[in-house]
Structure 1
């Protein structure tokens, strides 16, 4: 056994001395092999990559006659080799062919050494060939496993991308469907309202023609229809502006007392015209807040006009109060028709109106409130009872932090 070990030690020394020449021989074989198409895309350095490490491990196994002790190191190098080859575009068959050429080069070198060395025993040569076959087979298997694993990871990645793309496509299709339905809803709603307006116009004209004495009544009826049509158009224009506003949100410090006074003054005429009582409640501890004043005012006016529209008798209450966690609350309370429990889920949807009320408008007031509240980071809530009125409130931050612009310095 000692002679065998000494013979293998001499062989290993000879292989180490020829390592550069053997590597060069192997690379020429690889570059010249038509079955390994992707080798043409690699440099000499990229082709060699882990070959020196694998070569060293084979020499250690030959000398120690023990593959098990080197399995861990050989597997690491082989797996890295398989991963790199996969990333370099190799197919599995090209990887196998490349390593088989490496086996052939090593076996040829062992044969040449045995032929040139009279004292090298036949048993040493057979053992060297067997161990080389075993190690290269182990390297090939580990490399293939890593390449397949890399392929599977890439397939999983592509599958995930495909699933996400499919999900996004489904969402887009749903959005397109929703947009189409909304467009049709707008068309039906506007057509319905315009038909009603035109019917009343026709009635007013017939009344003026048939009965000159009632001409003033007919003109009054026609004027009311003009005002109602203007309300419809104004709501639709306002909502389109809210949805289409992609400008950067600007904020400013403003006094809530001044805003409260403006809102009370703006709504006083319309409440008095319907015989309603307008009540204002302002928390005196509140002073200046930072937000978008115009959008806050839009929210308040839409809530107030909605309350006035659906209240025939009683009162409208506007209150502005402090709220916990550095926030403040805007609340509008009415004694109007209220909202039935089965309708409350749809209250903020576009074109929703009290079903049993013939009230002009597109049903967009609360949809506008919802969108503006989201923009202002406001928390929107409401409570309502059919026939007993409603309470709508929005809780805003005392200081609204606007989103940074995309190219703004950090």
Structure 2
């Protein structure tokens, strides 16, 4: 650790401390003008600049000592507080990253202005100043993001806990409900378990952001989408029994099939290839947008892909989206797994039915859920299978889902 010394960096730090108020004002104006930072409009001056003075001080100490280790504990403490506060204030992760990037830009601009006004502030001094500012704010950004993710995980656990308590109460009242209603509740518990698939992708996105800074934007986009999907699923599961009835309502949205396809590939390729399987994918470039329920379509595909991976030890898993005339499109998932015997074909879509032994995980609800979701989305499902050679499931969906009366 270097000892403090007088010099160009110390002179620059002195300027930062004198100009702290004006630099803070410059940053706040940039924040309020930025199109990405919609949630900043809801904050007061004090709320927006809550931990900025502390960050200024810590960066100043790091520049004076030319050593980040000295201030790392303080930076981490304030970054965690900052991330937790922004989560409570409703910030998205991309907004958190953006406001800290704007802060970095303000400080970098201050470095340039100082260098122009002070000839003794050499290019090397300017580079050192930029280095310590970048390193400090990168650490602040990463720590704040981790804190936001921790808060999200806590919220997800809270939702899951509520569902588990609700399901426990329903179990205690089994003698008051019919066999069908009891079956639906077991499906709810199974789908809660399937949320782990989303959490795994969420975790991989965070690891990608931490290990490969150049891919942070991609990782954060994937993490945000996974978090949004998890929250939407958990919210829907509270009333899942109602959703499964004939009178349920479906939220229809217009979305890109290509984006859904890419998301499925990104989510499923790692676990498929981790088993030593090839993941063969194909997308019809003529497909554009559809009007349906994106989340339920994703559930169908994930259930089929997860099921295929469970029952396949060698070979490949296939995912294909193709057009079918002007009004329909097809989703196809194939595998080279154990296949389905002739005597099992009739009960393949029944609840709690499985075609393999206990060495394959699951409770036999995946295809039952697929069948029910296909009914809701007006999908026609067919499958072809040969025992020992594999299975192909193909579903024909409308390009525009119409609400049923």
- TM-score, normalised by the number of residues in structure 1: 0.42
TM normalised by structure 2 equals 0.42
Structure number with larger C-alpha Rg = 1
